[in-house]
Amino acid sequence: MPDSDYSPYVIAVYAIALVAYGGLAFLWQLALRRAKKRLDEAETL
Site for other proteins, rule CB under 8 A: 1-2, 4-7, 9-10, 12-14, 16-17, 20-21, 24-25, 28-29, 31-32, 35-36, 38-39, 42
CA distance 2 to 21: 31
Cβ of residue 29: shortest distance to other proteins, in angstroms? 6
Cβ of residue 38: shortest distance to other proteins, in angstroms? 6
HSE-up of 42 (CA within 13 Å, CB side)? 6
Q: Give the single-character DSSP code of 36.
A: H
Cβ of residue 13: shortest distance to other proteins, in angstroms? 5
